[in-house]
């Protein structure tokens, strides 16, 4: 069974509390429940990891690259716009990775409109809320 990991970066543990006008009022647990349900429908296994620390995310990506993980869905949070190290970890993993953003980063502040990590990913979904994660999961589930 395909195993897909969902990585969430800084402040995503604060979903439902932090800036609900931008990120909505649902929590990270709500997101994980939604993804788990969709994974069961698709016949794939999912695993979740969230950290507010860049190095921990990089360490996780390295572990997944050397394991039985098929692919990753990542929401790097603000690291999207600042972390060359995270971009390099994604690129060096040789895993199919889909970058997801709950908000539309292209309608946000200028600094948030460029993704350093996107070029290392097979695709980017931005602005669809939690549905973006579901779309990313559906896409990875179809890949060989």
- Gap between the Cα atoms of 126 and 93, Å rounded: 22
23 labelled catalytic: yes
- Gap between the Cα atoms of 17 and 23, Å rounded: 9
Q: Which of 53, 64, 81, 101 is labelled catalytic?
A: 101
Q: Which of 23, 49, 64, 106 is labelled catalytic?
A: 23
Backbone dihedral angles phi then psi of residue 82, each to the nearest 5 degrees:
-135, -15
- Gap between the Cα atoms of 111 and 130, Å rounded: 23
Positions annotated as catalytic residues are: 23, 101
């Amino acid at each position: 069974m395909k195993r897909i990991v969902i990585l969430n970066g800084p402040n995503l543990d604060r979903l439902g509390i932090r800036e609900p006008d931008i990120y909505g009022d649902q929590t990270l647990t709500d997101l994980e429940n939604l993804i788990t349900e969709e994974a069961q429908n698709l016949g794939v296994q999912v695993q979740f990891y969230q950290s507010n620390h860049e190095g921990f995310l990089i360490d996780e990506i390295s572990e997944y690259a050397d394991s039985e993980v098929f692919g990753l869905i990542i929401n790097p949070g603000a690291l999207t716009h600042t972390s060359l190290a995270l971009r390099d970890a994604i690129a060096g993993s040789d895993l199919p990775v889909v970058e997801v953003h709950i908000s539309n980063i292209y309608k946000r502040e200028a600094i948030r409109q460029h993704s350093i990590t996107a070029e290392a990913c097979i695709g980017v979904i931005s602005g669809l809320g939690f549905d973006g994660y579901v779309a990313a999961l559906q896409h990875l589930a179809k890949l060989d």
